[in-house]
Amino acid sequence: MDTFERIIYLREQLNRHNYNYYVLNTPEISDKEFDDMMAELIRLEKENPQYNDENSPSVRVGSDLSNNEFEHVRHEYPMLSLANTYSKDEVEEFYIRTKKALNEDFEICCEIKYDGVSISLIYEDGNLRRAITRGDGTFGDDVTANVRTIKSIPLKLRGNYPDRLEMRGEILMPWESFDKLNKEREENEEPLLANPRNAAAGTIKQQSSAIVAKRNLDSYLYYMLGDNLPADTHYDNLEAARQWGFKITDTIKLCRTLQEVFDYIDYWDTERKKLPVATDGIVLKVNSLAQQEELGFTAKTPKWAIAYKFQAEQALTRLNEVTYQVGRTGVITPVANLDPVLLSGTIVKRASLHNSEIIEKLDLHIGDMVYVEKGGEIIPKITSVEMSKRNPDGQKVEFIKVCPECGTPLVRIEGEAAHYCPNETGCAPQIKGKIEHFIMRKAMNIDGLGPETVEDFFDHGLIHNVADLYELTEEKIIGVERIAEKSAAKIIASINKSKEVGFEKVLFALGIKFVGETTAKRITEVLPDIDSIMSASFEQLTAINDVGERIAGSIIKFFRNPDNLDIVNRLRNHGLKMAIETSSEGKTDILKGKSIVISGTFELHSREEYKKIIEDNGGKNVSSISSKTSFILAGEGMGPSKQKKAEELNIPIVNEEEFNKMINI
Give the DSSP per-residue string, 357-411: HHHHHHT-BTT-EEEEEEETTTEEEEEEE-GGG--TTPPBP---SB-TTT-PBPB
Residue burial 34-44, b: 16+ Cβ < 10 Å; e: rest: beebbeebeeb
Domain covering 314-389 in this structure, CATH number = 2.40.50.140
Fold (topology level) of 595-662: Rossmann fold (3.40.50)
Angle at 508 between CA 505 and CA 514, to 5 degrees: 160
**For residue 374, is pLDDT > 80?**
no
Please choose, from the candidates 58, 202, 53, the residue with its C-alpha nearest in 3D space to the C-alpha of residue 129.
53
Q: Around 409, how many Cα atoms within 13 Å sit in the side-chain half-sphere?
A: 1
| Domain at 3-61, CATH from 2.40.50.430, 2.40.30.10, 1.20.140.10, 1.10.287.610 | 1.10.287.610
Q: What 3-state class would DSSP assign to 170? A: strand
The catalytic residue positions are: 113
The crossing angle, in degrees rounded to 10, of helices 428-439 and 451-459 is 130
CA 287 to chain centre: 34
At residue 66, the pLDDT reads 47
Q: How far apart are CA 59 and CA 144, in angstroms?
A: 11
pLDDT grade for 375, boundaries at 50, 70 and 90: low
What residues does each domain of the chain span? 3-61, 72-309, 314-389, 428-573, 595-662
| Residue with more model confidence, 581 or 530 | 530
pLDDT grade for 376, boundaries at 50, 70 and 90: very low
User: Each residue of 253-278: pLDDT tens digit?
Assistant: 999 999 999 999 999 988 888 888 98
Provide the residue type at 363 as one letter: D
Provide the residue type at 411 as one letter: V
Phi, psi of 87 (to 5 degrees): -150, 160
CA 152 to chain centre: 16
Please, what is the average pLDDT of the chain? Answer: 87
The alpha carbon torsion through 578, 579, 581, 585 (nearest 10 deg) reads -170
**For residue 575, is pLDDT > 70?**
yes
At residue 560, the pLDDT reads 94
Within 8 A by CB and 6+ apart from 407, the residues are none
What CATH architecture applies to the domain 428-573? Orthogonal Bundle (1.10)
Provide the residue type at 188 as one letter: N
User: Each residue of 81-113: pLDDT tens digit?
Assistant: 888 888 899 999 999 999 999 999 999 999 999
Phi, psi of 481 (to 5 degrees): 45, 55
- As beta bridge partners, residue 172 has 218
Provide the residue type at 143 as one letter: V
Domain 72-309 CATH assignment equals 3.30.470.30: yes
pLDDT grade for 61, boundaries at 50, 70 and 90: low
The crossing angle, in degrees rounded to 10, of helices 3-22 and 31-47 is 140
For residues 414-442, give the mean pLDDT.
90
For residues 535-541, give the mean pLDDT.
93
The string of DSSP codes covering 272-324 is GGGSSS-EEEEEEEESBHHHHHHH-B-SSSBTTEEEEEPPPPEEEEEEEEEEE
Within 8 A by CB and 6+ apart from 43, the residues are none
